[in-house]
Structure 1
Amino acid sequence: MSSAVQIQVADSHLYPGCAVRIANLPEPACASNVAEARVEFADGSGAHATCHRRAHDELELTVERYATQKRHPIDARHWLLLAVDATHHSWRVKRRLP
């Protein structure tokens, strides 16, 4: 993939129920279903991540360690996201994965 997936989070961190917008998500039929991503949080902070399509409406998101704009450190975490709409632009965090 030539460009990273752009992910916008409606808060300064991810948590179950959090709204997420995703642009340029590879189609589920893509060979690897894994893509590099750039996560942009509502407070202006950002993090590198990878996303993996588990199923048509499920996405695993692994976000690297980052700091919020208020310098609060957030450890690397792994999340399960579910699609909210048929266009796969709106997602919600379902739960944290081990």
Structure 2
Amino acid sequence: MKVVFATLLLVTLVLTSSLIDTTMALSIFFFGEGYCEKKCGVRCSKAGVKDRCLKYCGICCEECKCVPSGTYGNKHECPCYRDKKNNKGKPKCP
């Protein structure tokens, strides 16, 4: 009985670790390393305070996994990005 339990536990651990690796690989495939930096670079290209725009855009992109196209507006393309608010109730994402 102990051998069966130990074997089952080992198989479960191996399958779980491979599932986590697959999930991370899919995330990198779809969003790639540098995805947020590229998208936010375009989004903030005409911003008056570029450093602040890049900071908040990066935070929103990491959480929402999307950035609206263009330099302004189009927030309907990414509802999570659109709906994020700061502590004063104003839009958090540029």
Aligning the two structures, in what range does the TM-score lie when normalised by the shorter sequence?
under 0.3
Larger C-alpha radius of gyration, 1 or 2? 2
Q: TM-score, normalised by structure 1?
A: 0.25
More helix by share: 2
Higher relative contact order (CA 8 A, sep 6+): 1
More strand by share: 1
TM-score for both structures, normalised by structure 2? 0.26
